[in-house]
Structure 1
Amino acid sequence: MSCKALSHLVGDTSERAMVGHGNFVFNSRDMAMHRESWAFVFGLLGNIISFGVFLAPLPTFYQIFKKKSTEGYQSLPYVVALFSAMLWIYYAFVKREAALLLITINTFGIVVESIYLTIFLVYAPRKPRLTTIKLLLLLNVFGFGAMLLSTLYLSKGAKRLAIIGWICLVFNISVFAAPLFIIRRVIKTRSVEYMPFTLSMFLTINAVMWFFYGLLLRDYYVALPNTLGFLFGIIQMVMYLMYRNATPVALDEPVKAQEANGHIVGAVKMGTIEPNHAGGGLGGVGKV
């Protein structure tokens, strides 16, 4: 083979290799954009459902406002929900990339939970009011403040994001364990009074939305807690179908406020529980 032919062959091979590499880079970018588009869709749906879940306690607070009394309702779930939203807002601002949907839903959550707590503080008796103030100072002021200062001054960059992400993940896993209380009560009472099927279904769907949002963005701090949310949501719906026509069993002990549950927003969530003295549903977010 002549030098000219050999040179032509090598050049042609190099061009093909470059074209192949270019196609690979293009396909990789195209796949990344496609993945981010789907993540946005799931995150948007998660926002819409989470908006509804955050507003679920409105009837409760309307009754509190109307009767000028908290009637035994507890403030702890709303303090926890506010803390969760604050955590995820901080995580989103540190992350920055693809964090808009986390910021929108958790900003809404902070506003709504703050309104709930304000109403509670206005109409609660002296002892529950003081307890609520202590909880807010302990968790939302000193607890969050200590976490904020330590991560700002003792870590930076990817390490800071990882620390905040792990805090959010562990906190939300602990919140998602709350359905165990209502599942236990359903089994003992053979009654689904405290576990509305519709709320459980929507919270399960919400967990699915945020799981795929986190998975597609490879944000496992968002995705992993919502696997538990989905699992507990399925368990609750199965329990509802098992016990919906069962004959209730009366218990000697009264229903504790902490055991009658309301909602959990996962996500990043975003996680909240709404117990009350009369019952309520229990779901499994998110919030992101």
Structure 2
Amino acid sequence: MTGNLAHLTLAFGLLGNIVSFMVFLAPIPTFYKVYKNKSTAGFQSAPYVVGLFSAMLWIYYALLKTNVMLLITINSVGCFIETLYICFFLFYAPKKARMESLKLIVLLIVVGFGLIVGLTQFFASGVTRGVIVGWICLVFSLCVFVAPLGVLRQVIKTKSVEYMPILLSVALTLSAVMWFFYGLLLGDFNIAIPNVLGFTLSIIQMILYYMYKNKRPVSDEKMSEFEAKKYPVGEMEEKKIQEIVDHKTIDVLKLTALISSDILPVVTKLKENGHEAGHVAVETQAHPNVPNHIVEVTA
């Protein structure tokens, strides 16, 4: 029975590694959009900074334990990928967003992680150290799941899912399931507990995505309402009629100018030849847009 439990734990751990790798790759479409637009407008760096911090914490926690090697493998990959994302974000971010991201990096990665390692190494020992780091990992794992929820307010407010990373939400849901069973079978509740909330929050994100994916953004609706208020139905019809009348007037003026340009050279030539009086019948030149006609000119 113990052997079967160990094999099952290993299976969920391997599946957790595979799905977590998918989680780390899920933001690729987001960064492709950033690359295409040459801007990070509308996107946030917080999920990737928090993700890097969490991966570093789990590596530290795994080094203090003896039976969670699969945590080291996947979180090492995660540290590398999240670092690439952050560098990419900083390259394309506007100045204000770049400065905010750098402040968050210094606060979490440099100060936060440095203090955790330093304090636990100097003021804790043995099993106590592992318990303290385990609880810290539990708290910040919840932050990883909560971080993408920063866009939910924007989604509800604008009724647009343009900036919601749905692929990340799906991958996080699957990852939460795998790591929950891995932690449960391993008897490590620092791994199992955060993934219960992670699963719940990921489901909420997907529900909101399917609620608003076919909705028109609020900005478009407001524009339509503005046009309707600016031009009521009667005024809009009157405006269209006036545009048609103006267009016809312009066509008549063009036609008059065209006919005048055909007749004027003929009249001038008749005056030069001494036709001071009388009626002269002049046939105007054929014009592709004007029918042939006879004009009586009084010289």
Do both share a fold (TM > 0.5)? yes
Deviation at 1:66, TM superposition (A): 4.9
Q: Which residue of 1 aligns with 2:196?
A: 227
Contact 2:47 2:144 in 1 (8 A): no
Deviation at 1:74, TM superposition (A): 2.7
Deviation at 1:143, TM superposition (A): 1.1
Q: Among 42, 45, 60, which residue is 1:75 paired with? A: 45
SS in 2 for 1:74: coil
Q: Among 165, 180, 205, which residue is 2:134 paired with? A: 165
Larger RCO (alpha carbons 8 Å, 6+ apart): 1
2:148 & 2:199 partners in 1: Cα distance? 11
Runs of 4+ in 1 over 6 A off after TM superposition: 245-248
Q: Among 114, 123, 127, which residue is 2:92 paired with? A: 123
Q: Which residue of 1 aligns with 2:78?
A: 109
202-211 vs 230-239, which moves further: 230-239
2:152 & 2:50 partners in 1: Cα distance? 21
Deviation at 1:236, TM superposition (A): 3.7
CA shift digits 1:231-284 (9 cap, x unpaired)? 22333444555566677756999xxxxxxxxxxxxxxxxxxxxxxxxxxxxxxx
Q: Which residue of 2 aligns with 1:151?
A: 120
Q: Among 92, 96, 99, which residue is 2:66 paired with? A: 96
Contact 1:179 1:232 in 2 (8 A): no
1:135 & 1:171 partners in 2: Cα distance? 14
Deviation at 1:212, TM superposition (A): 0.1
Q: Which residue of 1 aligns with 2:5?
A: 35
1:167 & 1:52 partners in 2: Cα distance? 25
Q: Residue 62 in 1 paired to residue 22 in 2?
A: no
Q: How many residues align?
A: 222
2:83 & 2:183 partners in 1: Cα distance? 27
Q: Which residue of 2 aligns with 1:7?
A: none
1:70 & 1:246 partners in 2: Cα distance? 23
Change (3 A) 1:74 1:196: closer
Q: Could you tell me which amino acid in structure 1 is paired with residue 4 of structure 2?
A: H
1:214 & 1:201 partners in 2: Cα distance? 20
2:154 & 2:98 partners in 1: Cα distance? 28
TM-score, normalised relative to structure 2: 0.64
Contact 1:189 1:251 in 2 (8 A): no
Change (3 A) 1:174 1:81: closer
Return the structure number with greater helix share. 2
Bigger Rg, which one? 2
